[in-house]
Homo-oligomer: A and B are copies of this chain.
Amino acid sequence: MLTIKRLDISDAERLIAGARAKAQEIGVPMCIAVTDESGNLIAFERMDGGKITSIQLAIDKSFTASGIQKGTDALAEVNQPGMPAHGISSALGGKMVAVAGGLPVTSDGAVVGGIGVSSGSPAQDLEVAKAGAAAFENMSK
């Protein structure tokens, strides 16, 4: 039998609050998703002005990060031509997102969920996702 550690809804709210604060600071309204360690959505928020094409993208970035247990920026690198995972971005019907902005969320070294952010540039999305993850991980130390 396995015992699994997993984000609960209050953890998810903390992650979203951390991401939202950073999004407001940089002035880019974002779609923000939090998934559990199994890739299933816990919570989602589209800030006023977040892009409608980013709703599913944020969810899928979070799903991807929960699953691969790495940031989607790492997948972006190996998805490039010449790299061994080139084309992985079309796997799973396109739910495997190889663009920065998805991060795994860890506790005591274990992946307990993920966060995905979309609406800005990949760099902005990643910055906001990091702020969300930090809001949780700093608190749980």
Mark A residues whose CB is within 8 Å of B: 1-9, 11, 36, 38-48, 51-57, 60, 63-64, 66-69, 76, 79-82, 84-94, 96-100, 107, 112, 121-123, 140
Contact = CB atoms under 8 A, between A and B. Distances in A.
Each complex incorporates copies of this chain amounting to 4
Contacts of A51: 67-69
Contacts of A67: 51-54
A48 B8 contact: yes
B99 A84 contact: yes
Contacts of A55: 40-41
A84 B100 CA distance: 8
Contacts of A100: 84
Contact of A1 (B5, B38, B80, B93): B5
Nearest to A45: B43
21 contacts: A1-B5, A2-B5, A3-B3, A3-B5, A4-B4, A4-B5, A8-B48, A9-B45, A38-B52, A42-B45, A43-B44, A54-B67, A60-B91, A76-B84, A81-B82, A85-B99, A87-B87, A87-B98, A87-B99, A91-B94, A94-B94
A54 B75 CA distance: 14
Given A54-B67, A56-B92, A87-B79, A6 B11 contact: no
A85 B122 contact: yes
